[in-house]
Copies of this chain bind each other. A is one copy, B any other.
Amino acid sequence: MKHNKITKLFNIKYPIIQGGMIWVSGYKLAAAVSNAGGLGLIGAGSMYPDVLREHIQKCKKATDKPFGVNIPLFYPDLDEILKIIIDEGVKIVFTSAGNPKLYTKYFQEHNIKVVHVVSSVKFALKSQEAGVDAIVAEGFEAGGHNGREETTTFTLIPMVKEKINIPLIAAGGIATGKGMLAAMVLGADGVQIGSRFVASEESSAHINFKNSVVETKDAGTDLTLKELIPVRLIKNKFYYQVQDLYLKKPNIEQLKELLGRARAKKGMFEGDLENGELEIGQVAGLIHEINSAKEIIAEIIDEFEKTKQSLC
């Protein structure tokens, strides 16, 4: 994998990026993934600025390998976050949920590589025009917040690949070596994996949530709350409350009121499986145990190589 565009771009061993997820991916997970040869990302989306600074500092101590930070561009304290990223010498930033033109040049002037997450060909092209170093194209099956186009990984990757010439990372539905190989056959240079790392030993997800991921089967998630920001959740008690409310044809205010605040923290970090939002991808149905990040990456690479050999 020495000639792979993603391993070269980030100076890593395997073209596997760990998704920077709220409440799940602190420095422990990011460092473990980076130490195992992938690229770990700290998920800034659920961190106050001080917390993010602490995680970056701890990550630098926990690994001498490259790692990055994922920043949703609607983050309220964005200026403070940007300052911390620069101050702490972060070298790789993944941005999502916003306009890639806003900060790409700024980061790059500080020698930071920038990757933007998109869910359509249109935004892939906009990202390329903005000068990003790579694109993550994320399909409908992905967990958590998700694009409105509902284009799946299987069709999004080749459609984006047709139009762009910068490195392309596939996300959504990938948890195994076969999934990684399939994504690369479809045109990806590397993969971003989220759900599988939720169920890792080093993730900061609550153990109840990790167990819940392992128990989730096919059809166990749904993309809902589309009137707010579409989000893929495990079908738990809270999810069914949302569905019940839909039967009453609610307006947006009523949906917001039911959602309330901090549902994701409650479910994913505090382990309230009934009342929390449990953000996970459809691929949870393929995740059967909690492993260390090192085991996960070793298993994925082993399956990837064996499957590739079996085709020859």
Residues of chain A having any CB pair with chain B under 8 Å:
120-122, 139-141, 149-156, 158-160, 162, 172-174, 176, 178-179, 181-183, 185-187, 217-219, 222-223, 249, 281-283, 285-286, 307-308, 311-312
A154's partner among B122, B141, B158, B249 (CB-CB below 8 A) is: B141
- Asked if residues A155 and B286 are in contact (CB atoms below 8 Å), the reply is yes
A181 / chain B contacts, CB cutoff of 8 Å: 185, 311
A139 / chain B contacts, CB cutoff of 8 Å: 152, 154
18 more contacts with CB within 8 A, not counting A122-B219, A140-B152, are: A149-B218, A150-B223, A152-B153, A152-B154, A154-B172, A154-B173, A155-B286, A156-B218, A158-B286, A159-B218, A159-B286, A178-B187, A179-B186, A182-B182, A182-B186, A185-B185, A311-B311, A311-B312
Given known A308-B311, A312-B311, A312-B312, contact A218–B178 (CB-CB < 8 A): no
A121 / chain B contacts, CB cutoff of 8 Å: 217-219, 285
A249 / chain B contacts, CB cutoff of 8 Å: 249
A283 / chain B contacts, CB cutoff of 8 Å: 154-155
- Asked if residues A152 and B149 are in contact (CB atoms below 8 Å), the reply is no
Q: List 29 A-B contacts (CB under 8 A).
A: A120-B218, A121-B218, A139-B154, A140-B152, A141-B155, A150-B223, A151-B218, A152-B153, A154-B154, A155-B282, A155-B285, A155-B286, A158-B176, A158-B179, A158-B286, A159-B218, A159-B285, A159-B286, A178-B185, A178-B187, A181-B185, A182-B182, A182-B183, A182-B185, A182-B186, A185-B185, A185-B311, A311-B311, A312-B312
Q: Tell me how far the C-beta of A299 lies from the nearest C-beta in chain B, rounded to whole angstroms.
A: 14
Q: Which of A120, A150, A162, A183 counts the most chain B CB atoms within 10 A? A: A150
Considering the chains assembled together, what is the distance between the CA atoms of A120 and B221 in angstroms? Answer: 13
- Asked if residues A218 and B155 are in contact (CB atoms below 8 Å), the reply is yes
- Asked if residues A154 and B179 are in contact (CB atoms below 8 Å), the reply is yes
Q: Tell me how far the C-beta of A89 lies from the nearest C-beta in chain B, rounded to whole angstroms.
A: 37
Q: Which of A149, A152, A249 counts the most chain B CB atoms within 10 A? A: A152
Considering the chains assembled together, what is the distance between the CA atoms of A88 and B102 in angstroms? Answer: 66
Considering the chains assembled together, what is the distance between the CA atoms of A139 and B155 in angstroms? Answer: 11
A153's partner among B149, B154, B217 (CB-CB below 8 A) is: B154
Considering the chains assembled together, what is the distance between the CA atoms of A158 and B155 in angstroms? Answer: 17
A152's partner among B122, B173, B178, B186 (CB-CB below 8 A) is: B173
Q: Which of A158, A162, A308 counts the most chain B CB atoms within 10 A? A: A158
A151 / chain B contacts, CB cutoff of 8 Å: 141, 218-219, 282, 285
Considering the chains assembled together, what is the distance between the CA atoms of A186 and B307 in angstroms? Answer: 10
Considering the chains assembled together, what is the distance between the CA atoms of A158 and B178 in angstroms? Answer: 9
A286 / chain B contacts, CB cutoff of 8 Å: 155, 158-159, 162
